[in-house]
Amino acid sequence: MNLRTQIAEAVRYIRKHTATVPEVAIILGTGLGGLVKEIRKEVVLDYDAIPHFPVSTVESHHGKLIIGTLGGKKVVAMQGRFHYYEGYTMQQVTFPVRVMSHAGLGARTLLVSNAAGGMNPKFRRGDLMIIEDHINLQGDNPLIGKNDEQLGPRFPDMSEPYSRDLIALAQKVAKDLKIPVRKGVFVAVQGPNLETRAEYRFLRGIGADAVGMSTVPENIVGVHMGMRVCGMSIITDECFPDTLAPVTVEEVIAAANKAEPKLTAVTKELIRRL
Ligand code: HPA
Give the CATH architecture of domain 3-273.
3-Layer(aba) Sandwich (3.40)
| CA pseudo-torsion sign 4, 68, 230, 119 | negative
**In angstroms, rounded to a whole number, what is the distance separating the alpha carbons of residues 29 and 107?**
19
Atom 9, ligand 1: residue with shortest CA distance:
116
Average pLDDT over residues 29-41: 89
Report DSSP state, residue 23. Answer: S
Domain residue limits, the chain: 3-273
Could you tell me what percentage of the chain is helix, strand and coil, using 3-state DSSP and rounding each to the nearest 5? Answer: 35, 25, 40
- 21-32: average pLDDT: 91
**Coil, helix or strand for 101?**
strand
* CB of residue 213 inside a 6 A radius of ligand 1: yes
Contact status, residue 136 vs residue 216, Cβ threshold 8 Å: yes
User: What is the Å distance from ligand 1's center to 235 Cα?
Assistant: 8
Q: What is the pLDDT of residues 173-198, one digit of tens each?
A: 999 999 999 999 999 999 999 999 99
Return d(Cα 260, Cα 258) in angstroms, integer: 6
Task: Give the whole-angstrom CA distance, residue 66 versus residue 41.
Answer: 7
Tens-place pLDDT, residues 101-129: 999 999 999 999 999 999 999 999 999 99
pLDDT classification of 58: cutoffs 50, 70, 90: low
CA dist list (Å): 39 to 71, 107, 216, 223, 268: 8, 16, 25, 25, 9
Q: Which atom of ligand 1 is nearest to the CA of 189?
A: 7
Tell me the CA–centroid distance for residue 117 and ligand 1, in Å: 4
Interval between CA 237 and ligand 1 midpoint (Å): 7
Q: How far is the C-alpha of 39 from the C-alpha of 43, rounded, in Å? A: 11
Across residues 4-19, what is the average pLDDT? 97
Instruction: Give distance in angstroms: CA of 254 to centre of ligand 1.
Output: 13
Mutation test residue for ligand 1: of 193, 239, 247, 253, the one with most atoms within 8 Å of CB:
239
Strands (E), the chain: 24-28, 40-46, 64-70, 73-79, 109-118, 128-136, 182-188, 210-212, 228-238
What would the mean pLDDT of 91-95 be, rounded to a whole number?
97
Q: Is the CB of 194 under 6 A from ligand 1?
A: yes
Q: Which amino acid is at 195?
A: E
SS3 21: coil
Looking at residue 32, its pLDDT comes to 80
The reply to whether ligand 1 has any atom less than 6 angstroms from the CB of 29 is no
Give yes or no for residue 87 having a pLDDT over 80. Answer: yes
Pocket test for ligand 1, best of 119, 138, 195 (most atoms within 8 A of CB): 195
Q: What is the pLDDT of residues 246-261, one digit of tens each?
A: 999 899 999 999 999 9
User: 29, 87, 34: which is closest to 58 by C-alpha?
Assistant: 87
pLDDT at residue number 14: 98
> What is the mean predicted confidence (pLDDT) over 198-227?
98
Q: How far is the CA of 32 from the centre of ligand 1 (A)?
A: 14
